[in-house]
Amino acid sequence: MKTPHKNRIQVAVALLGEFTKSIEDLDRVKAVEILKKTYQAKKMQPIRGKAQPPDIYDKELATLYVIGKYGLKLDQDYPELFERIFYLERNLEEAINKILESKYEEAREILKSVSPSGTIDSNVIARLLRVPLTKLILGFIQEEEFKNVLHRVLEAFPEEEKTVSNYARFFVGLKLSEAIRRGEVKSKEEKEALKKALAIRTGFPKSTPSDDYVRAIAKSVFNINDKLLDRVLSSRKDASSPTREDTTKSQQ
């Protein structure tokens, strides 16, 4: 089966190939600049929700990290690449592993060390969840594993319940958009059924995204045209009418 992320994977592999040839000249900031210019040249968008926070391309490095580590095993051949560029994702994944081992305090210390403010806020938790989400959508872990991560993170950081719930909504929007892209959803009825089923499967039954939010993901991440989306989604809303997802950036 063809992956709807084929172009994203190809771009990531090409960029990683370039990075391995010029490791000494790179740092995270330069890598983000190269990623952004490449995406713009190819008319691609980062994996995101409806909002587009200023650090979205920095967050998109998670895609290169996952493909580099789990797809190409570059962490073994080019450890210095991960030290210079992907140190943040590596620390976040270490924090996830600590959470899965129920070592919550150790996870908190790791997250505080990578937080710009030294505190754990919604943006830090969103970054934490982005790595396993990227692994899921690129096929490196199963849905059940991601579901477990969501619930363990909520257990470790109950004060961030809203952030985790919003990220579950982001996941549902991505998976639903992907299903539309694959041609697996062909009517509004099928869309509603899958939307509810995905939310229930994650264990966050109330985390169903609006059709307006799904449309934004489908267009930006999967480049699905409005003609197809109009068949399965409700009518487009006035762009000036904010939805609950417009006011929350943590799901990205």
Domain holding 129, by residue range, is 6-232
What per-residue confidence (pLDDT) applies to 243?
Answer: 53
What per-residue confidence (pLDDT) applies to 3?
Answer: 74
Q: How many domains is the chain partitioned into structurally?
A: 1
Residue 164 is assigned to a structural domain of this protein: yes
Residue 36 pLDDT class (50, 70, 90 cuts):
very high
What is the rounded average pLDDT of the residues 110-139?
Answer: 95
Residue 240 is assigned to a structural domain of this protein: no
Residue 210 is assigned to a structural domain of this protein: yes
Residue-wise pLDDT for 89-102, tens only, equals: 999 999 999 999 99
Residue 18 is assigned to a structural domain of this protein: yes
Residue-wise pLDDT for 131-160, tens only, equals: 999 999 999 999 999 999 999 999 999 999
Residue 246 is assigned to a structural domain of this protein: no
Please state the three-class secondary structure of the chain as a single string.
Answer: CCCCCHHHHHHHHHHHHHHHHCHHHCCHHHHHHHHHHHHHHCCCCCCCCCCCCCCHHHHCHHHHHHHHHHHCCHHHHCHHHHHHCCHHHHHHHHHHHHHHCCCHHHHHHHHHHHCCCCCCCHHHHHHHHHHHHHHHHCCCCCHHHHHHHHHHHHHHCHHHHHHHHHHHHHHHHHHHHHHHHHCCCCCHHHHHHHHHHHHHHHCCCCCCCCHHHHHHHHHHHHCCCHHHHHHHCCCCCCCCCCCCCCCCCCCC
Residue-wise pLDDT for 155-168, tens only, equals: 999 999 999 999 99
Residue 245 is assigned to a structural domain of this protein: no
Residue 151 is assigned to a structural domain of this protein: yes
Residue 7 pLDDT class (50, 70, 90 cuts):
very high
